[in-house]
Amino acid sequence: MELMNQKGFASILVIGIIIAIIAVGTGSYFYVSKQSEESLTENPAINESTDPAPALESENISEPIVIQEQESKKETTLPSAEAQPETKKPASVPAPTQIPTITKEPVIVPQNTCSRAFSPRYSAGPYYTGPLFDAHLHMPTLIDISKADPSKLEGHGADIAGHIGVDRDAELDKLLCNFEREKVRGAIGFTIGEAELLTETLSGAKSMKAKVGSMVDLFLTPASFNAGGLDNIIAGNPNLFAGFGEMAFYHPSYANTPPDASSVVQIYEVAGKHNIIVMMHPDARQEIAIENAIKQNPNVKFLLHGPETENTVHGIIGKYPNVYYSIDAMLIRLSSAPGALMYMVSGKDEFKTKFAQNYTAILNNSVNQWKAKIEQYPGRYMWGTDRSDPWTYDEDMSALIEEFARDFIAELDPAVQENFAYKNAEGLLRR
């Protein structure tokens, strides 16, 4: 009985110890949990730091540094973490890799300065819009003109002398540029040389031909040359010259030498031998001499121009199939003037003033004088400019000449417009 009492007491004691252990453990658990919650509230987690630097560093991995346009400053600007709102990008589309670039000065692409829209100023049109061919153009001199004999410079010697001191290549560039602007397919270009300066003459001609190429058919003014010298020049330099001219019979260089004089007839014979053209500017009252020269040389093609024969050349053209006539500077003439406006003024400013003041009257006079003649012999007349003085090469002058030409040509029968504008000249030159 006493033993049973002792066992009962022991059981009670064990139970009490277990209860005490449970109580102490539970209390410790609640105490630790309490402290842990308070710690979480008072101290943020390390991986939720508010320091902006790590976040900015991560953001810059996919965003390139932008260099400012002004290369000289080369400033690198980093975006502010506070100022930049967070940009959410789809995780499935990675940002493209970008390489920072420096913006440099733009590359300037040269524009074609030899282009110009046709912009007429003095008439509402219509205008001829096709190609042109300048059948009468005086080129820069082939020689140092200060060395030349003034008596042998022919009619435009004084004008050509204006090119002294001017860069010949620059003048040729100006002409070629105007041709391109104005749809001019080519030109007959008259060049001045000297028999006494033959080497310089030929060197200058070859240099010029290399510059202008097939755009210009060069003619050699023959005033200082005899027939034998010209024969040697043509034979020794094939394809350099397409003709002789301008032979200015009104000039002192041909004093007492009419177009049918034996000395010049020999030159025509050289032209016929080499199948090249003779271009002449007859003086007044030389119609009989002109016809004699033409009849004696039926195998030579003669190209005439000038006001001295403007009233008689149409009859000569009707008689002889080897005669042609260029209507050039004379197209632009005041009704009261004996010559072309270009040669009746002191310079470009006066020309432009009178051209503007009298445009319609000048056009009407030219149409009345030439339209019926051109349409009667549509294969024999051709357009030209007769430019020689340096100021006539300028673009503003060239634009006025072009406008008038296109206005005049538009007044012709459409069936003959291209003939007059360029086809007759090209046919004469066998282009």
* pLDDT number for residue 141: 86
Task: Report whether pLDDT(158) > 90.
Answer: no
- Per-residue pLDDT of 376-425, as tens digits, reads 999 999 999 999 999 999 999 999 999 999 999 999 999 999 999 999 99
Asked if 192 and 157 touch (Cβ cutoff 8 Å), the reply is yes
13-32 mean pLDDT: 51
- Per-residue pLDDT of 190-206, as tens digits, reads 998 899 999 999 999 99
Task: Report whether pLDDT(60) > 60.
Answer: no
Q: Which residue has tokens 């320091």?
A: 51
213, β-bridge pairs: none
**Per-domain residue ranges of the chain:** 131-427
- The rounded distance, in Å, linking the Cα atoms of 369 and 325 is 14
Q: Which of 428, 426, 430 is nearest to 186 (CA)?
A: 426
Whether CATH 3.20.20.140 fits 131-427: yes
- Per-residue pLDDT of 133-153, as tens digits, reads 999 999 988 887 677 666 656
What would the two tokens of residue 89 be?
A: 């990008």
Return the top range by mean pLDDT from 6-20, 88-102, 111-125, 290-304.
290-304
What would the two tokens of residue 240 be?
A: 């350099």
- Per-residue pLDDT of 280-310, as tens digits, reads 999 999 999 999 999 999 999 999 999 999 9
Task: Report whether pLDDT(52) > 70.
Answer: no
91-97 mean pLDDT: 49
* pLDDT number for residue 259: 98
Mean pLDDT (the chain) is 81
pLDDT above 70 as % of the chain: 69
* pLDDT number for residue 17: 59
103-108 mean pLDDT: 46
- Per-residue pLDDT of 209-263, as tens digits, reads 999 999 999 999 998 899 999 999 999 999 999 999 999 999 888 989 999 999 9
- The rounded distance, in Å, linking the Cα atoms of 157 and 253 is 11
Task: Report whether pLDDT(275) > 90.
Answer: yes
Give the confidence band of 75 by pLDDT, cuts at 50, 70, 90.
very low
Phi, psi angles (nearest 5°) of residue 307: -70, -20
Greatest Cα pair distance, the chain, in angstroms, is 183
159-184 mean pLDDT: 83
The pTM score is 0.73
* pLDDT number for residue 168: 87
Q: Which of 299, 254, 255 is nearest to 277 (CA)?
A: 299
The larger pLDDT score, comparing residue 336 to residue 207, is at 207
Give the confidence band of 64 by pLDDT, cuts at 50, 70, 90.
very low
- The rounded distance, in Å, linking the Cα atoms of 384 and 180 is 16
- The rounded distance, in Å, linking the Cα atoms of 49 and 45 is 7
76-97 mean pLDDT: 43
pLDDT above 90 as % of the chain: 63
Asked if 205 and 218 touch (Cβ cutoff 8 Å), the reply is yes
